[in-house]
Amino acid sequence: MELLVAIMVGVLVAASVHLMLARNVLRFLFGLVLISNAANLTIFVAGRLTPESPPLIPYDADVPVADVANALPQALVLTAIVIGFGLFAFALTLVYRTYQNLGTLNSDEMRLAEPEDDTHVAAENKTYIAREAGQ
């Protein structure tokens, strides 16, 4: 069982690395989703897989009577899923806004913050003095 999950993690990571090496930022994001799921599965399998023994304590007992599944990795994975979901939602919005503003998803063409020719930045920065003087 552990072996199967481990192989699955491997496949997910391989696929996500392939996606993340693309120049298209959207493909990168899809790779990120896959690799974050691979990380979650890693935590899950690191807590050892114990099928058919849910971590439940009988009503009249203080401790579980038999061996039960480790509940901690599940709690960790749950937290990580929620956080990952929020971050992905943000990243997706950011990519969409970037596409609207820059008109491209190709990361090679995103050179506004670090232009190859620095004089362009200088030209854009000139606007500041007009704005500050106008205040």
Partner 1 sequence: MSWILAAPIIIPFATAVLAFLFRHGPEGRWISVLGSAALLVSAAILMTNVLAGGVVAAQMGQWPAPFGITLVADLLSAVMVVITGITGLAVAIYALADVDERKEQLGYHALYQVLLAGVCGAFLTGDLFNLYVWFEVMLISSFGLLVMGGNRQQLDGGIKYVTLNLVSTILFLSGIGLLYGMTGTLNMADLHSAVQNVENPGLLVVVAVMFMIAFGVKAAVFPLFFWLPASYHTPAISVSAIFAGLLTKVGVYALFRMFTLVFTTDVAYTHTILLWVAGFTMVTGVLGAAAMNDFRRILSFHIVSQIGYMILGLALFTPLALVGAVFYLVHHIIVKANLFLVAGVARRIAGSTELSQIGGLYKTAPLLALLFLIPAFSLAGFPPLSGFWAKYVLVKAALEDGGYVIAGVALVVGLLTIYSMTKIWGNAFWKPHPAGVHPTLSSIAPKDLAALILPIAALATLTCIIGLFPEPFIQFATASADQLLNPEAYIQAVLGADAPGLALAEVTP
What's the full length of the chain, in residues?
135
Residue in 1, 78, 86, 106 binding partner 1, rule: CB under 8 A: 86
Q: Which is nearer to partner 1, 18 or 90 (CB)?
A: 90
User: For residues 106 and 79, what is the distance between their CA atoms, to the nearest angstrom?
Assistant: 32
Packing angle of the helix pair 2-20, 25-46 (nearest 10 deg): 160
Q: Which is nearer to partner 1, 53 or 106 (CB)?
A: 106
Q: Which is nearer to partner 1, 60 or 117 (CB)?
A: 117
- In a 13 Å sphere around the CA of 1, the CA atoms on its Cβ side amount to 10
- At 62 the three-state DSSP class reads coil
Q: Which is nearer to partner 1, 60 or 133 (CB)?
A: 133
Q: Is 23 near partner 1 (CB under 8 A)?
A: no
Q: Is 57 near partner 1 (CB under 8 A)?
A: no
Of 19, 16, 80, 20, nearest in space to 46 by CA: 80
User: For residues 130 and 32, what is the distance between their CA atoms, to the nearest angstrom?
Assistant: 42
Residue in 60, 63, 118, 134 binding partner 1, rule: CB under 8 A: 118
Contacting residues toward partner 1, per CB under 8 A? 20, 25, 28-29, 32, 35-36, 38-40, 42-48, 72-73, 76, 79-80, 83, 86-87, 90-91, 94-95, 97-98, 101-102, 107, 110-114, 118, 121-122, 124-126, 128-129, 132
